[in-house]
Amino acid sequence: MATITEVTPEAATLSNDEILRYSRHLIMPEVGMEGQLKLKAARVLCIGAGGLGSPLALYLGAAGVGTLGIVDFDVVDYTNLQRQIIHSTADVGRKKLDSAAEKLKAINPFLNIRKFETRLSSDNALELFREFDIIADGTDNFPTRYLVNDACVLTGKPNVYGSIFRFEGQASVFATEEGPCYRCLYPEPPPPGLVPSCAEGGVLGILPGLVGVIQATEAIKLILDKGDALIGRLLLVDALGMKFRELKLRKNPDCPVCSEHPTITKLIDYNEFCGIRGEEKPVETAVPELQVEELKRRLDAGDDLFVLDVREPHEYQICNINGYLIPLGDLPKRVNELDSSREIVAHCRSGARSAKAVDFLRQAGFKKVHNLSGGILAWADRVDPKMPKY
């Protein structure tokens, strides 16, 4: 394997305390003093201190990667704790950066932690990446993923990539000199709405652990220049079947960014590229909406309203407002169960899926359909504070 990182171990030395701390590395021929000094001299930038970033940063910090950069602007919330193990319950409401830095320092006080409280953008990515040897991408959205990829190619920094959905994950090392980049694999992102996001689809809490540790492993191997890196290979992790599969990746000779004749030579507008304007908003805004207070008032008044819940059965079990359940995906084949002469109020968790349902029903000839604005989350916030939120 070719040396990819420009780490200068000569400049680093280990104190006696560090020698003791890293002794299980030092007695391994694959690491040894030389490798440990490479780790100490190395600078890894983690994009995000979330699900993937948690195990990634914890292991890199424990292993003795000298400089750990973290880019994050988010705040810890309760729904993060099921998988973002670098944060604890007491950290809810704190900046993820502060919470993560504190844990890392507690594990390894020899670390140099660099905090970047910012949204990674086309304006700051290149400058930021130049100060690091390896970039570890733990992002959850397509605009940032393409931005990280292109910025890695343009700055010549390897991109240790991981991605997760429900109980399935992907990992690879992109943008090395000899290997393919993310765009070689996927030249274009999916149009918004066609692929469910983590927030909609859920994720098994251990999965970012599995995939993030694979990313950490690859980062350390790149630094040590040992073993076979996950270059030109896409590792697919299926936690439910506990199967690991591997697919071959090739450098695309027509890749828009990493080929001999690239068409992208500087960073672009990635939100525009991904067709996103307000990602979490309902796709169809022309859908007639009903506020939760109004629904409550009309139900209490005994109005003839048919409440249609378009979530999945397992969501219905968490909380419901006695709606009639037809999951969005089943709506086309079960539309005959609905009475178009009645007034229908469709709802989901936050209002995005039910907007699609209302749009569908209107196209199917239903005249009196409303979308419950803000979904059952708004109901829990503004009508029934005892209702659990998820």
Site residues, other proteins (CB under 8 A): 47-48, 50-53, 74, 80, 138-142, 144-145, 162-168, 170, 185-190, 194-199, 201, 203, 208, 211, 234, 236, 241, 245-250, 329
**Location of structure tokens 């604005």:** 373
Binding residue for Zn ion (CB under 5 A) from 239, 258, 290, 326? 258
164 binds, among other proteins, Zn ion, none (CB under 5 to 8 A by kind): other proteins
H runs (alpha helix) in the chain:
16-21, 23-26, 32-41, 53-63, 96-107, 125-129, 142-155, 182-185, 198-201, 207-224, 270-273, 292-300, 313-318, 331-334, 352-363, 375-382
348 catalytic, yes or no? yes
Catalytic residue among 46, 152, 198, 274: 198
Nearest to 173 by CA among 203, 208, 110, 216: 216
Shorter beta-carbon distance to other proteins: residue 226 or 233:
233
Shorter beta-carbon distance to other proteins: residue 34 or 246:
246
Q: Least CB distance from residue 183 to Zn ion, whole Å?
A: 5
Cα–Cα distance list, 322 to 7, 120, 309, 370, 376 (Å): 61, 43, 8, 17, 11
162 binds, among Zn ion, other proteins, none (CB under 5 to 8 A by kind): other proteins
198 catalytic, yes or no? yes
Amino acid letter, 33: M
The four Cα atoms 348, 353, 355, 356 give a dihedral, to 10 degrees, of -140
Binding of residue 181 to Zn ion (CB under 5 A): yes
Shorter beta-carbon distance to other proteins: residue 246 or 337:
246
Shorter beta-carbon distance to Zn ion: residue 86 or 184:
184
Q: Least CB distance from residue 242 to other proteins, whole Å?
A: 13
Span interacting with Zn ion, options 138-146, 165-173, 256-264, 310-318, rule CB under 5 A: 256-264
236 binds, among Zn ion, other proteins, none (CB under 5 to 8 A by kind): other proteins
What's the burial of 32, exposed, middle or buried (CB within 10 Å: 0-12/13-18/19+)?
A: middle
Binding residue for Zn ion (CB under 5 A) from 71, 151, 239, 255? 255
Catalytic residue among 181, 184, 319, 348: 348
Shorter beta-carbon distance to other proteins: residue 31 or 184:
184
Binding residue for Zn ion (CB under 5 A) from 46, 97, 125, 184? 184
Tell me how many degrees the CA angle 381-280-388 measures, rounded to the nearest 5: 25
Q: Least CB distance from residue 265 to Zn ion, whole Å?
A: 13
Cα–Cα distance list, 212 to 204, 216, 259, 353 (Å): 13, 6, 28, 30
Q: Least CB distance from residue 51 to other proteins, whole Å?
A: 5
Shorter beta-carbon distance to Zn ion: residue 183 or 370:
183
Nearest to 230 by CA among 173, 282, 279: 173
- Helix-then-strand count for the chain, H and E: 16, 13
H runs (alpha helix) in 236-291:
270-273
Cα–Cα distance list, 263 to 66, 150, 192, 257, 266 (Å): 36, 12, 24, 6, 9
Q: Least CB distance from residue 170 to other proteins, whole Å?
A: 6
Q: Which residues are catalytic?
A: 198, 348
Question: Which residues in this chain contact Zn ion in the complex, by CB under 5 A?
Answer: 181, 183-184, 255, 258
